[in-house]
Amino acid sequence: MDVHLLGINHHTAPLELRERLALDGAGVAAVLRDIRSDAAAAEAVLLATCNRTELYVAASDSAAADAGMRRVFARLAGDRAALVPACAYGESGERAARHLLRVAAGLDSMILGEHQILGQVREAQSRAHDAETLGPLTHRLWSTALHAGKRARAETDIGMGAVSVAQAAVCLAERAVGELRGRHILLIGAGDTCRLAARHVADRRPARLWVANRTVAKAVAIAEAFGGDPVALENLDEVLPSADAVISATRAPGFVLTAGQVRRATEGRPGRPLALVDVAMPRDIDPACADLLGAALFSIDAVRTLVDRSLAHRVREVPRVEAILEEEGARLAAWTRAQGAAAVVRELVERFEQVREEEVRRNLKHFQPEEEASLDRLTRAMITRLLRPPITQLTSGTLPPAVESVRLDLLRELFALDPAGTAGKVCRGDR
């Protein structure tokens, strides 16, 4: 039995296909519930995020597994099913495992090194456990991936720095006014950038978070999600004097914050700077604010410079992450090969024991009853001595994977072992 992968992501599939295959918890559970019949899979885990959908199954028939997974994807894609063959990628064995390790480490993310994927990998494992489709092979694979992802972030700087516009904006505000914990923060806008900025600000536990927008209902939605207060755009002057930092990202055609408003807000507060981070295009904040005493203005260019520097630093960390993944992948491969060898050892021992018992029963008539126990001990000892050298070789793990696989197949053939019978029963018993 081996692991097989079929997936799509932001590298391979257009948005309209990714949308069709984007599944919530109930959708994931439904796929996992049916996957055994769809793909002849003994085990299955489904990793579903906004940018990727990847199905991992453990199955002994690779062709049946691949065909079944493609049927699942086609059914989910609906009228976009014709896109699946060109957009989906498939891997098996160690290549499938190495891909998951790269995903967990953030090397395959839209934003290099982003941290959310590790939680999503953990959630996929939990959902498979709840659906009772997580087995010995996938459990080991997922545990290795989570460990590799944690090591990558703990031992390298792959997750350091601000590599999204929203995150960089918050970091620049901190540079100007210091730690945002206990501060008063004003966000202007209600799009994706402001929503993400609100998440980063909320993580820092400000004393007050305002969200201002021309459409107040949108401001209410973000404010409620992150423990803030909504503000109508025309009421900015009421909260601006109390703000320590402003992040603005609207699509307004003109300035939403003028130099006059900022001047009035900073008057009478010496030693308490006001950080202004403008990530809009066209600009939201009057550039003349840069010349005002007590105000620190950062433009979209400053934000992008910080993003580029952080991303360049993460790129330099990739070789260090790859080295960690190589170590973890090698350990997983050795474990997987050991399971295959252990299965053959069980089959071999059982085959020899079966022959021994048959021959002992056939020849009991030639021995006295008191000799039966001695005969049993003698034949068992012979089998043990004969099998010790091949078992030692089989479990040594010293051969390359391809050579070891050929050797195991040859051994099964030479001794007429039955992987579909004995080994299959052992695997299901382990589960």
* Residue 10 DSSP one-character state: T
Q: Which pairs with CB-CB distance under 8 Å and at least 24 residues apart come from 384-391?
A: 386/352, 387/348, 387/349, 387/352, 390/348, 391/345, 391/348, 391/349
Task: State the Cα–Cα distance between residues 238 and 235, nearest whole angstrom.
Answer: 6
Q: Given phi > 0 = left and psi -120 to 50 = alpha, else beta, which region is 197?
A: alpha
38: its two tokens = 């769809």
DSSP secondary structure of 101-166: HHHHTTTTSSSTT-SHHHHHHHHHHHHHHHTT---HHHHHHHHHHHHHHHHHHHHSSTT-S--SHH
Residue 188 phi/psi, 5-degree rounding, is: -115, 120
Catalytic residue among 50, 194, 289, 427: 50
Q: Which residues lie closer than 8 Å to 361 by C-beta, 6 or more apart?
A: none
* Residue 238 DSSP one-character state: H
Task: State the Cα–Cα distance between residues 431 and 427, nearest whole angstrom.
Answer: 6
87 has catalytic annotation: no
Q: Where are the beta strands (DSSP E) in 233-383?
A: 245-248, 274-278, 295-298
CB atoms within 10 A of CB 311: 17
Residue with tokens 């601006």: 240
Catalytic residues: 50
